[in-house]
Structure 1
């Protein structure tokens, strides 16, 4: 049984994509535009949004920085004035910085947490009243399989994504009984400007277009968690179930400890 609304027809569906300028967000924007969705595109760079809009004709551009107080509210007000409602909000804005403990600092931690976690929470706080008033629509939160378990070089990034998993699960209890869907998107390795920082082999690496197709397929099935590629994510889910005396050596062997 589907846990959320099955989205199979995108024609005229009003979708606000936050974090749309590159990578998964840009690929998803193009995929939904091709299927007839009405798009509002948000990211920090207006220039990148304008470039993306060439392949997403008719899109509404709402540049913003989720870490700046009030920016999400202003964009939401502009969107509501134009559309009068929202069918799906995709919260995809995020950052990634590989960190070992020697590089950990309050500044590095706060930059990642503010964007990856607090930016998503702020986004939900802005759109939830609208969705609840409608009694319909949905929120898609883009996390990462790095949130499944502690991994080398992911001191802050992994923690922020683990928090998003918990947040999405808790949010489902609040919104789903009131007609609002909650989708958790958990990608594996996807070739984006952020993953270009990695200096190690990334198993089952996907292109952004493949990730976008996987998200569209998961939404069509009404899944709560849309994780991909499954040959990689299912292995990680199994690994997380192992006792720590097995978990740590296996991850160490597979990654070299990230050094």
Structure 2
């Protein structure tokens, strides 16, 4: 029997990386659909402003500030959420960074360390905080935000893409354990969404969508179930095809694309 899809009456939702962008928009969308949502990020002022923005919605948002790179802090936040608001039913582990690269370097150890610390280790810290209670209850729903750029190595995306590819691999592997524990685990692979992070990009972003539309598609995916929530389809399917190409053809195609000005983000 497949793990259940969680509903607002099952408990509280938790969203990390909720100070802006996709995390903030998903928290608001969940509150619109009746969820009580605990939000986490380092900036408590941004979280409190988000909570005020949810006033008047069917659900509500409450702030629990913390840094996902701190495993102990994540455990304490989940314990606090459950003690105050009830059992954790749904978690969207969204916290992420796209470190800036120096123009003269395609890669740096500092950038890799930062990306992995937040995008991979941060997700693992949050998963390890949420899993014990869900495992004990034999129910729950977890979703990790990765990216379509994690499908395969793209020009200009060595650091960010590697951290997101690792997050995808992590969830693919954990899916078996979560299924046995009655927990639904999902991976979210968006294309380009208009957020403060993507606005720094200096290349064309095909099929760019608003953050509100992205949030609706993500929450629809929570309700629909299935392992992967990926969008938009016009970008998802070409990216899936690229994963199937042999290296000589793939590198020739992507080199031509890079020469014409396209880059991964």
Q: TM-score range by the shorter chain?
A: over 0.9
- Residue 65 of structure 2 aligns with which residue? 63
Residue 11 of structure 1 contacts residue 35 of structure 1 at CA under 8 Å; is this kept in 2?
A: no
- Residue 250 of structure 2 aligns with which residue? 247
Equivalent of 1:167, from 167, 170, 177? 170
Shift of 1:12: 6.4
Q: What is the aligned length? A: 257
Worse overlay, 168-177 or 62-71: 62-71
C-alpha distance in structure 2 between counterparts of 1:46 and 1:258, whole Å: 34
- Residue 51 of structure 1 aligns with which residue? 49
C-alpha distance in structure 2 between counterparts of 1:148 and 1:91, whole Å: 19
Shift of 1:69: 4.4
Equivalent of 1:89, from 78, 88, 91? 91
- Residue 192 of structure 2 aligns with which residue? 189
Q: Deviations over 1:199-237 (max 9, x none)?
A: 110001111111111112212221100000011011100
1:89-168 alignment to 2 at 5 Å?
A: 89-97=91-99, 99=101, 102-168=105-171
Q: Specify the SS of the correspondent of 1:153.
A: coil
C-alpha distance in structure 1 between counterparts of 2:91 and 2:84, whole Å: 15
Worse overlay, 69-78 or 137-146: 69-78
Residue 146 of structure 2 contacts residue 190 of structure 2 at CA under 8 Å; is this kept in 1?
A: yes
C-alpha distance in structure 2 between counterparts of 1:10 and 1:211, whole Å: 20
Shift of 1:55: 2.1
Shift of 1:13: 4.1
How does the TM-score come out when normalised to structure 2? 0.91
Inter-CA distance 63–219: structure 2 relative to 1 (3 Å threshold): same
C-alpha distance in structure 2 between counterparts of 1:176 and 1:134, whole Å: 13
How does the TM-score come out when normalised to structure 1? 0.93
Q: Specify the SS of the correspondent of 2:53.
A: coil
1:218-257 alignment to 2 at 5 Å?
A: 218-256=221-259
C-alpha distance in structure 1 between counterparts of 2:212 and 2:3, whole Å: 23
Gaps of 5+ in 1: none
Q: Specify the SS of the correspondent of 1:88.
A: strand
